[in-house]
Structure 1
């Protein structure tokens, strides 16, 4: 026999012996003869107490492969080295070194080791769709029990690293010295150190089919590997797409008037599929407290909304001293929106926001300060619905509203306000399909409304005093209009409207000479009035163009004028024949007329005969200039988007036939960088003053044209995008930062270059009111709102208002934000004023913690809430 034949015979013999060994081992296993003991080759002493359980029947073939494979038949061992892999059922182990003890059903795996004995390539275990990394692993392939060292696993956007992990079964894991983080750079292995993590000495991880959760004992937060004071006695981290209950981590800071605080400390609890409940608490060291439950709800493609109730006590000063005060506050808010596609024939919406009069002056929720809500002087609420019909030209609208004025204490409640309106319709059919002429263009609008409202002090609401002041009324309106073209260039319009009103109360007014006051007495009786008026107008458009030679910078100026003239008529409803007005004697003995419907829900009929002609002239002025930046070679500049002058002359008036002349303008200058809106009222009659009196008497002397009112508003929203050309950073610089600084670019001298976006909104408002006063009053305020990114990770923002008349700063806020990769640090500060305060918080940006550890409110169905 040759040498080749001998080698082939030897190979066959070895194969038969090894095959017999595998068959015998499998046979013994099926009979349940083998017992499993903890006999791994690495860290034997530390595993003596960790049993890998008793034997189980093998249910699949163990498949192996490696670059180098050795078998120890007497010891029933297989050694795999380099690119080693073992597959059993749905579990695959890949490592640099693997040993299999067939007698004990144990697999030991170890990562690749460098010259210094350090693991440089981990063991990778894949089970189903999950992947785990460890430095070393002991695994019982029959019971699926395992013990791993320096393991790392990813769960739903988070990573858990533990010194030691014990797998009891496919559902339960125990970890020692576990670190949990959501740092994306660490997850993607761009960085070997997480910028933050939660450290727990002991962790239990429970895995389910659709969700998992981690339960810990004491857990401490580390930032940049530095321990923080944030320690929780326990924590539960859910790994699921479903909502989970969790703590609401607060902000902290100090307010000068109330002391140190914790704001938004609370708890989050999902309720069913469509509801979320959050309960917040605001706590201050000087005794103030506030409780705020919030309920959010949503049903996809149907509706969404939220409900908030807030109540608390604001305590200032020291009890027993003169500066001590205790104020109770409350607020109720409800927002509801219906999806547009839910029901095209019925819509419902609600925007309710009601609070105690002193709520914003004594707010304990500091969000109201930083958002500027404490400056509110008026608050409005409404609930409304609209019903449409498929086969009827009707719309039914219902509304309930509530408004309160914090300055005066007055509240207005309307409950309900109903209106039935008929869709606009034409009286005559068109003969040709295209409507022309006055008759074919006649259309009608009509409706019937019912309202029930009251004006009262807030403390009078829902008391007998409120019901005594309540007023109810019904109103029917009809409007008829038509229009046509005249002489091709003119548009002629005619209109008429009529109104009928019924009310449940009328007014009786008298002068009390003893008290020297006017006495108003409401009469509870059903009464009504009717009014009507007519109007006609004619309008056209005129264009003018001035062109310049081609060498001129200005190429053309275009002026568009839209003049219109109108005439209107309305009877004198204060005449005694109508019965809508009465008279009383004032303190000088003169008769003074008044309407018995004054203060009614639909107002009072107009007094005085109206036979007036009005005019309005609108102007639009634009200019074209040469521009190299525009593809057409010219650029259009708006000088005046709108410049309007209007007024009217009443032929029937005994005095002051001319009204005020109103001038208004709107323009955008410097390529829409500056928006200007101005309005002014000119009084054409001269006002004369007597010595010692500040109020004048208006004469019939025409031509004075003094300023009665003036208002100017300027706004300038600026940003770095407005100035200069856009820069392609990738083309400008060859190098880009790595890992933490990936948003940085580097020039040839290795200096960092980065974008610095900024915004600056400048607004100014000036008002001047004089009327018939000797001296007018003026207000002038300038506001600034700005933000600047000092670097890709540092942002500064702020806003302030300066009162030019008093020379004082009003509401001012400063904010600083630092992006720390997977979390952000924010600091807000109000340095001056009544609400001086500062606030600090750390917010984790990962969605996985939006329920377990929350800071900001959560939006349906998912939100970017943070801790």
Structure 2
């Protein structure tokens, strides 16, 4: 009777899950006493809530099972069968079978055999963010120690396999007969085999003597100990393993080896160096910094000593591929970008500064190799909140790649006021729509100070504006031809560099007169412009006593002083849109639509060569009193003094767009028709100067761009000269061609204007799916070595192939001869996935004019699951060479790689 009553009480309290409260929990006693010999088995839908015997339980133990729960009251043991789960504080345990022993405060988890004899329900243990998968787990929830058999656990990007694992109360564990790998397969492709491994979660993994096993083949590669950092939320310092390589210029090398310093949560510094068997070395310091929601950047300095005691100095001057003699060079780069915040200034930096020979001796990328110039800029820009005003300061630098000429802007300051309505400024009222309320005003000023180490000395050659029909266009100033000196940037030359520098201020006044609708279909836009330029020097000229007809002499005097140029102009434009549609109603083509946008404008500017402006000085430079006069600019050339002659010009332009309406391939009502562009833009324009005494019509510019068959982008520009040319024979038998003031369509026979320049660019992409790929690259990929031709860190194997090309054609014809120049180049880029793991890509440029390959590159990528193989080959040019890299994909084992390269910067 007692046993029946006990069973009834327990069964009446069963539910899906059970809870065991701690001994000191404040709750109503709900235990049921039973004899030590009794046991009880529960069904699938049953649960139990029963307090344990007195023990050291810190919090509630929650448990559940799918199949059954068995209590052994006398032994204080609970057995859970089928998808068993136990939650105790931060610890969670899941397995096919779990046993809870309250006397020994242990949890035991194991697999169970199904009807076929296969073991299922592998135990999974989780605690403090760490997960463990094993065949058997024994865990003491009082001491927080455990013993795990045949375990697999993840530490950072790595996985640890072990036969036996012991876990202590600090969440540290020791693994015996262990394997460490970054391959996420149950049977990894490679692993580090060690007798014992100790792991401190979120910090590091340490091992004793180990060797590398690749494809189940033990390799004689290893070390006495191993240390693998696995930080979760912070970076750690460590050694950067150098890369083995070879170049013909420097011999064998160990490059980019050193130490990484994690200074704090915001800054990380790497100090690396390279040594070469033929002598020389390189030292680099790289600082990366990042502050969330504020800014990020990178600062790098590199010093290089190149040793070449056997250099052919004369040969190096004649050949682009010859090596220079021993030299020391450096490179400084800095990039800084802030997070844009409303109302706050924006400081940005993009600095790339180096010695002339550094980039030649240290080519690290294709873009650097093909770049003609390098430049830098540092700027600060800010818009004053709740006002139309903004200001900024910019420092700039530019230099020719591989050359010593350099230009600096120190600094470039600007202040601007955006255009505002004059009606609102003066009346403080809201516009009501009157025509005079459309008037606006804006202002900007730019102060510029530039210095160049390419100093052009005076005397030299100065451009002149001929007057009275003279053919004089430039006059040699007394002292001989122009001389350009290249000086070094140092303290001794500061005075000379400053005196030869350019200092100017440009003022621009933006005046808007609004736009108006006239005659219903036309838009009228009047305009007025005014600007001023201030400089700090002026020139005065005197003619030399002896005239020489071929090269008259002029003496120039450079006087420091304030110079001012002001310009103004006025005009108006009239434009409209004309639409035309032709109904075809064919099987596929429904209609063709033509949109034409003609515009005509008038502009006026005075004759700035008039003596009243004092921009030019008229000199008699030859004995001919009629044709021997010329105008010389009193201000420097960079002041952009306006040209002489009255400008009263009519400008015309017509743009065209042609579209075709076709039936859509889809039969849905929403997509019954679609538009296909035949010509995106066809523009024709020119000008006619009413005030000119000759050659009133300007050249005619024609441009067109369109897209054909959804894969060809076509851009074409051309320039047509409307005037005839006449060829005469000189006394010495030579011929001379000159342009005369007579249109090509005048005279006998009608002729179209002559094409003097033309440019055609065709770009094609034969795989539109590649452009529309939305696959995001995976995170935390290791950075590849910065060497020529390396593949990108992420390869999209979902695109089976890509192919694109670009063709450029340039034509130019001289007006004074029958000679013309043609330049043609063809570039091809493409990739092919031979399998889902192999990818071949390449690019090349062919110059038809020189009949040579300007640049070519072939790359092969192999996905080895947890490894990557990259092969790149540059067969031609100054940077020709190859690179082979096989490396582990994980950033933890990024130093586990094989590299073989040969760069050809020393070809002679």
Q: When the two structures are superposed, what TM-score results if normalisation uses the length of structure 1?
A: 0.76
Does residue 419 (structure 1) correspond to residue 414 (structure 2)? The answer is yes
Find the aligned partners of 1:394 and 1:213 in 2 and give their Cα distance.
54
SS, match of residue 428 in structure 1:
helix
Does residue 697 (structure 1) correspond to residue 741 (structure 2)? The answer is no
Q: Give 2:767's aligned residue.
A: 719
Shift of 1:721: 3.0
| Contact 1:645 1:662 (8 Å CA) reproduced | yes
Does residue 468 (structure 1) correspond to residue 499 (structure 2)? The answer is yes
Q: Residues 406-443 of structure 1, C-alpha deviation per residue, up to 9 Å, x if partnerless?
A: 37643222122222222212233699956353x33222
Find the aligned partners of 2:441 and 2:78 in 1 and give their Cα distance.
95
Change in Cα spacing, 1:400 to 1:139, as seen in structure 2 (3 Å) is closer
SS, match of residue 241 in structure 1:
coil
Structure 1 residues 261-270 or 568-577, which shifts more? Answer: 261-270
Which of the residues 394, 399, 409 maps onto 2:394? 399
Does residue 498 (structure 1) correspond to residue 492 (structure 2)? The answer is no
Q: Give 1:745's aligned residue.
A: none
Shift of 1:170: 2.7
Q: Residues 294-314 of structure 1, C-alpha deviation per residue, up to 9 Å, x if partnerless?
A: 322222222222222233234
Find the aligned partners of 1:544 and 1:94 in 2 and give their Cα distance.
75
Find the aligned partners of 1:803 and 1:336 in 2 and give their Cα distance.
38
Find the aligned partners of 1:789 and 1:178 in 2 and give their Cα distance.
37
Does residue 778 (structure 1) correspond to residue 822 (structure 2)? The answer is yes
Find the aligned partners of 1:552 and 1:113 in 2 and give their Cα distance.
69
| Contact 2:98 2:109 (8 Å CA) reproduced | yes
Find the aligned partners of 1:60 and 1:571 in 2 and give their Cα distance.
93
| Contact 1:245 1:851 (8 Å CA) reproduced | no
Does residue 576 (structure 1) correspond to residue 611 (structure 2)? The answer is yes
SS, match of residue 361 in structure 1:
helix
Change in Cα spacing, 1:330 to 1:686, as seen in structure 2 (3 Å) is farther
Does residue 383 (structure 1) correspond to residue 394 (structure 2)? The answer is no
Find the aligned partners of 1:408 and 1:347 in 2 and give their Cα distance.
33
Shift of 1:714: 0.9
| Contact 1:154 1:160 (8 Å CA) reproduced | yes
Shift of 1:658: 1.8
Which of the residues 189, 193, 199 maps onto 1:205? 199
| Contact 2:609 2:645 (8 Å CA) reproduced | yes
Q: Give 2:27's aligned residue.
A: none
Find the aligned partners of 2:433 and 2:58 in 1 and give their Cα distance.
86
Q: Give 1:834's aligned residue.
A: 878
Change in Cα spacing, 1:565 to 1:136, as seen in structure 2 (3 Å) is closer
Find the aligned partners of 1:627 and 1:694 in 2 and give their Cα distance.
62
Shift of 1:353: 1.9
Shift of 1:803: 0.6
Shift of 1:328: 3.0
Which of the residues 293, 296, 306 maps onto 2:288? 296
**Matches of residues 344-363 of structure 1 in structure 2 within 5 Å?**
344-363=343-362
Q: Give 1:38's aligned residue.
A: none
Q: Residues 350-372 of structure 1, C-alpha deviation per residue, up to 9 Å, x if partnerless?
A: 222222223332225x3x23xx3
Does residue 443 (structure 1) correspond to residue 440 (structure 2)? The answer is yes
**Matches of residues 264-413 of structure 1 in structure 2 within 5 Å?**
264-282=256-274, 284-287=276-279, 289-315=281-307, 325-340=325-340, 342-364=341-363, 366=364, 368-369=365-366, 372-406=367-401, 409-413=404-408
Structure 1 residues 232-241 or 135-144, which shifts more? Answer: 135-144
Does residue 563 (structure 1) correspond to residue 598 (structure 2)? The answer is yes
Find the aligned partners of 1:283 and 1:352 in 2 and give their Cα distance.
27
Q: Residues 640-681 of structure 1, C-alpha deviation per residue, up to 9 Å, x if partnerless?
A: 1111111112233233222111111111111x3111111111
Q: Give 1:225's aligned residue.
A: 216
**Matches of residues 753-832 of structure 1 in structure 2 within 5 Å?**
757-774=800-817, 775-832=819-876
Change in Cα spacing, 1:481 to 1:328, as seen in structure 2 (3 Å) is same
Find the aligned partners of 1:688 and 1:407 in 2 and give their Cα distance.
44
**Matches of residues 536-685 of structure 1 in structure 2 within 5 Å?**
536-548=572-584, 550-551=585-586, 553-583=588-618, 590-600=628-638, 602-629=639-666, 631=668, 632-670=671-709, 672-685=710-723
Change in Cα spacing, 1:588 to 1:330, as seen in structure 2 (3 Å) is farther
Q: Which runs of 5+ in 2 are unaligned?
A: 5-33, 40-52, 316-321, 455-485, 745-750, 774-796, 900-908
Shift of 1:244: 2.6
Change in Cα spacing, 1:205 to 1:591, as seen in structure 2 (3 Å) is same
Shift of 1:506: 2.1
| Contact 2:156 2:230 (8 Å CA) reproduced | no
Change in Cα spacing, 1:354 to 1:114, as seen in structure 2 (3 Å) is same
Change in Cα spacing, 1:760 to 1:436, as seen in structure 2 (3 Å) is farther
SS, match of residue 460 in structure 1:
coil
SS, match of residue 360 in structure 2:
helix
Q: Which runs of 5+ in 1 are unaligned?
A: 5-10, 17-25, 31-56, 187-191, 727-753, 857-867
Change in Cα spacing, 1:579 to 1:90, as seen in structure 2 (3 Å) is closer
Change in Cα spacing, 1:290 to 1:771, as seen in structure 2 (3 Å) is farther
| Contact 1:677 1:713 (8 Å CA) reproduced | yes
Change in Cα spacing, 1:840 to 1:105, as seen in structure 2 (3 Å) is same
Shift of 1:377: 0.7
Change in Cα spacing, 1:213 to 1:765, as seen in structure 2 (3 Å) is same
SS, match of residue 766 in structure 2:
strand
Find the aligned partners of 1:791 and 1:131 in 2 and give their Cα distance.
35
Q: Give 2:473's aligned residue.
A: none
Q: CA RMSD in A?
A: 4.7
Aligned length: 767
Shift of 1:801: 0.6
Shift of 1:287: 3.9
Does residue 533 (structure 1) correspond to residue 569 (structure 2)? The answer is yes
**Matches of residues 482-521 of structure 1 in structure 2 within 5 Å?**
482=513, 483-508=515-540
SS, match of residue 360 in structure 1:
helix
Q: When the two structures are superposed, what TM-score results if normalisation uses the length of structure 2?
A: 0.73
Find the aligned partners of 1:695 and 1:270 in 2 and give their Cα distance.
73
Shift of 1:518: 7.8
Shift of 1:109: 8.1
**Matches of residues 131-280 of structure 1 in structure 2 within 5 Å?**
131-134=131-134, 148-167=148-167, 169-184=169-184, 186=185, 192-207=186-201, 211-217=202-208, 220-226=211-217, 231=222, 234-248=226-240, 254-261=246-253, 264-280=256-272
Find the aligned partners of 2:631 and 2:419 in 1 and give their Cα distance.
38
SS, match of residue 453 in structure 2:
strand
Q: Give 1:37's aligned residue.
A: none
Change in Cα spacing, 1:129 to 1:642, as seen in structure 2 (3 Å) is closer
SS, match of residue 440 in structure 1:
helix
Find the aligned partners of 2:206 and 2:195 in 1 and give their Cα distance.
11
Shift of 1:604: 1.9
Find the aligned partners of 2:760 and 2:62 in 1 and give their Cα distance.
83
